[in-house]
Amino acid sequence: MKRERGFTLLEIIVVLAIGVAVYALLLSAPLGKASAADLKAAARTLASGLRQAQTTAMATRRDAVLTLDVESREFNTTIDPQWRKLPDNLELRLYGAQSEVASERKGSIRFYPDGSSTGGRITVASGERKYLVDVDWLTGRVSIND
């Protein structure tokens, strides 16, 4: 009697189970990069904080500041001194006026009562993707560019 070559049902089930286990491990492992949605959400959160600082300065007729700690990925504003955390897998850079740089890791963007500001840019990046949160020094306008 000739025996047909092939796989048994048990062998196929074992191979599929191994494949599912490997797939589940790959999906659960952190990739080290932020998703596009996380990146955009972080840029919008920073832009919102900047706009809040500008509104506060104009409403109270006093300077208002957004302070950013690029190392710990946190920021706060004059009106809300509670530090707000951004995702850990982001790269942040702050470009602003030298007078607003507190240290290598901390800096600020200041808004004045007339709506103007010291100006600056916060770069929110992950890998090749990045968003630029720009603050115009003359008008204080906050914009997000990619």
The alpha carbon of residue 142 and the mean position of all alpha carbons in its chain are separated, in whole angstroms, by 16
52/121 Cα distance (integer angstroms): 16
In this structure, is residue 133 part of a structural domain? yes
Among 133, 131, 105, 103, smallest CA distance to 119 is for: 133
In this structure, is residue 20 part of a structural domain? no
pTM of the model: 0.77
Q: How many domains does the chain have?
A: 1
pLDDT tens column, 19-42: 888 888 776 655 567 788 999 999
- Look up the domain containing 71 and give its range: 36-145
Task: Tell me the mean pLDDT in the region 94-112.
Answer: 95
CATH value at residue 65: 3.55.40.10
In this structure, is residue 131 part of a structural domain? yes
